[in-house]
């Protein structure tokens, strides 16, 4: 999927591709821009935990664009400050920031919904307006 953005594409950093940075930044913006930094970092953890999990695509963009997994649609980035913050959090996550907020979560949702899958997985955390879960296969934290 390609998203129209009004903000400039982020610059790549060592070991972080522009593509991964843009996909993760957009996911954080559209899924969690109203969250504080900790909430956005937690959503980034889920995405990166999925990249490391055998059941999910092996790239950030593959995870973010996987059919039926994230609720946001193609859209415009209208809040440049919020997008810049999402970029900073995405960049840190991709550069190896510790994943210690969600205890290995690979799923999340807001309290406004109660997906059927939430009964199948172990609840690990509630951060901001998201509830986090992990499947039966625990991934090592880095």
pLDDT tens by residue, 90-108: 999 999 999 999 999 999 9
Strands 122-127 and 107-109 come out as unpaired
Give the per-residue pLDDT at 6: 37
Q: pLDDT tier at 38 (50, 70, 90 boundaries)?
A: very high
Q: pLDDT tier at 13 (50, 70, 90 boundaries)?
A: very low
Q: pLDDT tier at 44 (50, 70, 90 boundaries)?
A: very high
When mean pLDDT is compared across 12-21, 27-36, 39-48, 77-86, the lowest value belongs to 12-21
Tokens of 4: 């129209």
Residue 25 near residue 8 (C-beta atoms within 8 A): no
Mean pLDDT of the chain: 85
Side-chain half-sphere CA neighbours of 30 within 13 A: 19
């Amino acid at each position: 999927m390609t998203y129209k953005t009004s903000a400039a594409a982020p610059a790549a950093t060592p070991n972080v591709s522009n593509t991964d940075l843009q996909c993760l930044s957009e996911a954080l913006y559209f899924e969690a821009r109203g969250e504080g930094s900790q909430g956005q970092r937690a959503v980034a953890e889920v995405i990166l935990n999925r990249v490391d999990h055998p059941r999910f695509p092996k790239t950030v963009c593959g995870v973010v664009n996987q059919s039926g997994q994230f609720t946001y649609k193609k859209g415009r980035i209208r809040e440049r400050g919020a997008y810049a913050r999402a970029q900073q959090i995405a960049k840190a996550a991709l550069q190896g920031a510790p994943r210690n907020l969600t205890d290995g979560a690979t799923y999340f949702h807001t309290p406004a919904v109660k997906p059927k899958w939430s009964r199948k997985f172990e609840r690990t955390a509630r951060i901001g307006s998201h509830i986090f879960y992990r499947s039966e296969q625990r991934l090592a934290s880095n």
